[in-house]
Amino acid sequence: MLPLLLLRKADTFRNTLLGLRGWHLVKNLLFASVGLLMLAALYAAFWRLLTYLEGVQLIGPMLSWKLTSMVLLMTFSMVIVSSIIISMSTLYYSFDLKFLFSAPLDLRSIFMDKALETVFYSSWTLVLAILPYIIALGRVKALGAGFYLAYGFLMAPFVLLAGAFGIFFSMLVMYAFPSSRTRDLTWLLGSLSVGFVYVMFRFSKPEKLLRPDSLEVVAQYIRYLQSPTAPYVPSWWVTKAMVAYSAGHWGAFAYSAGVLCAAAALLYGLIYHLSGRVYMRGFSGAQSSPRFKGGREPLPEQRLAARFPELRSYLTLYWKDRLMLARDARYWSQVILIAALIAVYLFSIRQLPLDTPDLKSMVSFLNVGVAGFVMAAIGLRFTFPAVSLEGNSYWLLKSAPVTTASVMREKLTVSLLPSVLIGLVLITVSNRLLHADLFISALSTFTILVAAAAITVMGIGFGALFPDFNVENIHQLESSYGGFLYMSCAMGYLSLLVGVEAWPVQMHFNERLGRANPWDPRAVAFCAAGFLLLNFLALYLPWKLGVRNLERHEI
């Protein structure tokens, strides 16, 4: 029965491709083109890096293979964490599970169908991201097309093994604790694992591993390059097989590939056997709804509404969103990742090799654009989906005695404060670490406050302009054409913002260098006018278009 279920997925995918017409076809072709450009840029960067490493005398080939083992180890770890998070949704909360259980299908076949779906969703982006690295590696080492075929063959059991760990963990946890609360705990643990791996990898300063002079003894460095990286992890088995293939050692290649395939077959055989015993218990427990107990004390929103009756509708909407944030563990799990991102960002700023005070101040000014990009990326996860996450209950807001603009203003309030706080932390701490001068510190702080407001308004506006109230997964919103346009406009806005302020900053540095009459009042007035016009357009147009589109939206 499993081949029948897999054939169903293949037919669904084929029919989806054949059904693309008009704007949907153009949209997908546009996204595919942008994705190919990004992969091409990654390939160019990896090719330059590997060309440089391969050119290092004596240890060049060892350096590139050591880096390959590290890349595969990180990929394996990330697929495991991703499968832990995704397996909860696919194995126990997929929309089609109730239909599949009502059909004359074997329980184990249904489980394996969802298990393979978990492996695919948790690994395809990571496998695609390292593909440019593998292509660059094959080109630098002058390997033929057979190398890429061998790599594709090895990737199948590699991702199956990585995904199996997450599936096995979720299956046993849901069997021991069959409750919907278990999913929330798993999301929190998964996000904590991702944040820990991300922070530890950056704090280990991997750039020093590529410098022999960072170690006291060259022989020690060579021994490190020759030693296996996590020898009992499948990532090292793949590395050994690739090294054996490049050297023409077919016996060693067959042995490593055989071990990899045998491990995957044994692990999935164990999972297949256990699924018949434990899967139904976990699925049945996952359908229960958690109970939320309300307190007897009046809510803060109720007390404020009693004092300010004109704000009652706004406070009611705020109370609803506050409860949604408090009850949904997915949001709190993302806070862990945001904290890890901020920590790595500030650590990277601290590690920049800058010598002169003027150079540090210049980097502090350019840091506005990078911090703005971080805020936009976070806004893509939280602010842009805010309207669409109303889901099927949006008809309640549509029929309530509240205006569309008031609903959007309330969501703007919820998103604006976190965005401002994140921007202030990134800029103020970065300025402190870089010892930026007073003018640059004041300008960057003021700019990031304005940019936080503009990016948040753009997120709500584009979210209302491209709503999707039937979405099943929030990640589908982030990767939609609305999310793409939001990020494109946010990046364009930040580029123009830094460009408008670049002229006054140049005058400031001319003054620090002691040049006569560095300030031009007409140029400053022109830049100020451009600054005001740019922010007016960023604040007005997305908001106005979003309100108009949402008012016309039919339920």
pLDDT tens profile 67-92: 888 788 878 887 887 787 778 778 88
Count: domains in the chain: 2
Domain boundary among 218, 253, 286: 286
Which whole number is the average pLDDT over 41-50?
A: 87
Question: Considering the chain, what percentage of its residues have pLDDT values greater than 70?
Answer: 81
Q: Domain check: are 342 and 275 in the same one? A: no
Q: Domain check: are 95 and 200 in the same one? A: yes
In a domain, 257, yes or no: yes
Q: Domain check: are 257 and 343 in the same one? A: no
Read off φ and ψ for residue 299, nearest 5 degrees.
-70, 155
Residue 543's identity, in one-letter code, is W
Is residue 188 classed as helix, strand or coil in its secondary structure?
helix
Banded pLDDT at 223 (limits 50, 70, 90): low
Residue 3 half-sphere exposure toward CB, CA atoms < 13 A: 0
Domain, as residue range, for 103: 24-286
> Over 90: is that where the pLDDT of 218 sits?
no
In a domain, 16, yes or no: no
Q: Domain check: are 281 and 409 in the same one? A: no
In a domain, 348, yes or no: yes
Numbers of helices and strands, H then E, in the chain: 20, 0
Torsion angle defined by CA atoms of residues 2, 3, 8 and 9, in that order, rounded to the nearest 10 degrees: 80
Q: How far is CA 272 from CA 2, 40, 157, 267, 533, in A?
A: 12, 39, 16, 9, 62
Q: Domain check: are 174 and 96 in the same one? A: yes
Q: Domain check: are 237 and 375 in the same one? A: no
CB proximity list for 404: less than 8 A, separation 6 or greater: 464, 547, 550, 551
In a domain, 457, yes or no: yes
Q: Domain check: are 81 and 192 in the same one? A: yes
Contact 210, 63 (CB under 8 A): yes
Residue 338's identity, in one-letter code, is I
Q: Domain check: are 260 and 111 in the same one? A: yes
Q: Domain check: are 501 and 426 in the same one? A: yes
pLDDT at 212: 47
In a domain, 278, yes or no: yes
For 87-145, how does the pLDDT look when each residue is reduced to its tens digit (9 = 90+)?
877 888 777 888 888 888 888 888 898 899 889 888 888 888 889 999 999 988 888 88
396 by Cβ neighbours in 10 Å (0-12 / 13-18 / 19+) ranks as exposed
Q: Domain check: are 335 and 460 in the same one? A: yes
In a domain, 439, yes or no: yes
Q: Domain check: are 347 and 277 in the same one? A: no
In a domain, 10, yes or no: no
> What is the Cα–Cα distance from 433 to 347, expressed in whole angstroms?
10
Q: Which two tokens stand for residue 102?
A: 């009502």
> What is the Cα–Cα distance from 402 to 311, expressed in whole angstroms?
11
Look up the pTM and report it: 0.67
In a domain, 426, yes or no: yes
> Over 90: is that where the pLDDT of 386 sits?
no
Q: Domain check: are 337 and 474 in the same one? A: yes
